[in-house]
Amino acid sequence: MSTNTISQPDPNRWKALALLCFANFLVMMDSAIIQIALPSIKETLGYSQENLQWVMSAFLIFFGGFLLLGGRLADLFGNRRIFNFGVIILIISSLFAGIAWSEMSLNVSRAVQGLGSAFIAPAALSLIMILFSSNSKEMGKALAFWGLSGAAGGALGIVMGGIITEFVGWRWTLLIYVPLGIIVLLLSPKLLQKSGSKATGRVDYIGAILVTISSMLIVYGIVTAEHSGWQSINTILPLSIGAVLFIVFIIVQSKTKEPLMPLNIFKTPNLAIGNISVFLIAASWFPLVYILVLYLQQILQLSPFIAAMAMLPMPIFMAIFMVAIAEKVMEKFGIKKTLVTGFVLLGAAGILFSQTAGVDGNYWTNVLLASLIASLGNALAYLPATTASVSEVESGRSGIASGLYNTFYQIGSAVGLAVIVAIAGATTASSTAESQTGALNAGFQQGFFWIGIIALIGFVLALLFTRSTKAGKNE
């Protein structure tokens, strides 16, 4: 993009932002909308309880594995082109997922959905960074809407999944992406500026293969640990091979003239702590929503539809907090103070849930307050973490910065979920509670407690390593 274009902002930038945030909403919703539908899918396609996880895991593995490549391709071949390519892949794969006739057909389709999403997410965020690069205040507002769209996609996806599964059937939790994706594709040429490659050079194919396979193996090992255990060979082997390949990837990147991930990108102020914060936000928020859904259905005995309605206040709270509060707080107090406060509130919410989520709990007195605190904490942490991860990166590297950011978020979600589910499962198995419900609830309470601890680790790291900024400048 030329300097002249940057100095004169695109008059359609807010409409373009709405489209890009909607696309991000769809991508993040894709990993959540299917959760409440899993029992129905199991019954229709004959999944075993152990294999049912692959409806979720196939998507997460391919999404997390291809994000860095998606970001690099966006830098080299143009953000809009890669964005549209990802949307086309998502539309086609969603159609086949919705008409799936077997376990294998659904698993493969979900994996290809993840691939399409890995092209959409970094290209969309990169486009936002370019659209609003000339005005730091507008950039803050744009990133607030971006953060809201992702967080709301995960939370609202569960709500929509419950409604669609109960009233239309589980297949429409997947088929819904066909018409919605076509709408995005039709609006894209009108609202998104056509961009050629901002970066010159070639694709680092060796690096791309190494990081993609290593990311996929690491995510595979993490999601397998949920069912096989951390000491199982099925967990240890892919994690070990993935770690070795990632080390080789880092060595290759340090030696290559045109690397997939230039290591000096981490010299960008706050980029490293921003990505670590994104990882820890995802590692606490994603399992919190997951455990809460199970608590509402399995302990409070709410139906899928009522449980979905009970989750609805969380995305509403986040919408209000992200736009009305988080942006203004960050503008006034800077990235560091906002991030630290967000982590404290998110940690407090997890620990509060661990104390109030009882067998005889009541939604209004035991769930709603902690949900409000968690939503506020997530909003206050998410915006500065996102800003730190991407806003200071030069435009020619915006795609790889966006891919890096999304990779940390997805792997954080997978790691957090696997760790918390393992802790909850172990607690339930060793519980001395008289009833199965009591043992299950003990596991949920322990899970909530460690979710709070993960967030408080984020508080400590943010306090120690975030450079104070205010109004987009170092203090």
CATH architecture of 10-203+260-469: Up-down Bundle (1.20)
Residues 6+ positions from 455 with CB-CB distance below 8 Å: 280, 281, 284, 343, 344, 346, 347, 349, 350, 377, 381
Please state, in angstroms and rounded to a whole number, the distance separating the CA atoms of residues 128 and 74: 13
Is a pLDDT exceeding 70 seen at residue 220? yes
Quickly state the pLDDT bin for 236 (edges 50, 70, 90). very high
Return the residue matching tokens 């199965």.
436
On the CB side of 31, CA atoms within 13 Å amount to 33
DSSP for 382-402 reads: HHHHHHHHHTTS-GGGHHHHH
Q: Based on the number of CB atoms within 10 Å of its own CB, is 464 exposed (0-12), middle (13-18) or buried (19 or more)?
A: exposed
List the beta bridge partners of residue 470: 473
* H helical segments located in 78-200: 79-98, 103-131, 136-167, 172-175, 177-191
pLDDT at 471: 44
Return the residue matching tokens 């509670």.
433
Residues 6+ positions from 413 with CB-CB distance below 8 Å: 31, 60, 282, 283, 286
User: Taking Cα atoms as reference points, which of 325, 324, 323, 295 lies closest to residue 307?
Assistant: 295
pLDDT in tens, 351-374: 999 999 888 888 888 899 999 999
pLDDT at 60: 81
pLDDT at 24: 92
Q: Give residue 102's region: left, alpha or beta (phi > 0; psi -120 to 50).
A: beta
Domain boundaries, the chain: 10-203+260-469, 204-259
User: What does DSSP assign to residue 264?
Assistant: G
On the CB side of 449, CA atoms within 13 Å amount to 12
- For all residues of the chain together, what is the average pLDDT? 86
Return the residue matching tokens 């297949």.
171
Quickly state the pLDDT bin for 85 (edges 50, 70, 90). very high
Please state, in angstroms and rounded to a whole number, the distance separating the CA atoms of residues 176 and 43: 21
On the CB side of 386, CA atoms within 13 Å amount to 31
Phi and psi of 268, rounded to 5°? -60, 130
Please state, in angstroms and rounded to a whole number, the distance separating the CA atoms of residues 387 and 278: 10
Q: How many CB atoms lie within 10 A of CB 365?
A: 9
Is a pLDDT exceeding 80 seen at residue 389? yes
More confident residue, 205 or 461: 461
Return the residue matching tokens 């690069």.
133
Quickly state the pLDDT bin for 109 (edges 50, 70, 90). very high
Give, for 429, the enclosing helix (H) or strand (E): helix 398-430
List the beta bridge partners of residue 473: 470
Task: Retrieve residue 335's tokens.
Answer: 């990235």
pLDDT at 3: 40
Least confident of 116-120, 264-268, 330-334: 264-268
Is a pLDDT exceeding 50 seen at residue 473? no
Give the pTM.
0.84
pLDDT at 135: 79
Please state, in angstroms and rounded to a whole number, the distance separating the CA atoms of residues 390 and 401: 6
Quickly state the pLDDT bin for 196 (edges 50, 70, 90). low
Residues 6+ positions from 267 with CB-CB distance below 8 Å: none
